[in-house]
Amino acid sequence: MSKGNIAEKKPAVIELAAGTYYWCSCGDSKGQPFCDGAHKGTEFRPQKLVVEQPTKMALCNCKQTGSAPTCDGSHCDL
Ligand code: FES
């Protein structure tokens, strides 16, 4: 599967409450880093993220990460 479009060349570092989230893999969501349905009609699908307890995470916004949905530093090479 190909990589999504670059939404931003830095991760979204955010506090997440416990719950279920859907990370945007296509890069076209207007609500980065989460899916807003913009992937419809493409090969991309959102990636489910289940958070058990409140936590701070760095979610990939460049969509080139090898450890989706989290940042692996790939944006540094763009
Ligand atoms: S909008 Fe990008 S995966 Fe859904």
Measure 2 CA to ligand 1 centroid, in angstroms: 14
Q: Residue 68: what pLDDT?
A: 97
pTM score, two decimals? 0.95
Q: Which residues pair with 23 in a beta bridge?
A: 34, 47
Q: Residue 13: what pLDDT?
A: 98
Q: Is 46 in the pocket of ligand 1 (CB under 6 A)?
A: yes
Residue 1 in this model has a pLDDT that exceeds 80: no
Judge contact between 59 and 32, C-beta under 8 A: no
Q: Is 61 in the pocket of ligand 1 (CB under 6 A)?
A: no
Query: Residue range 67-77: average pLDDT?
Result: 97
Q: Is 69 in the pocket of ligand 1 (CB under 6 A)?
A: no
Judge contact between 10 and 74, C-beta under 8 A: no
Give per-residue pLDDT as tens, 3-53. Answer: 999 999 999 999 999 999 999 999 999 999 999 999 999 999 999 999 999
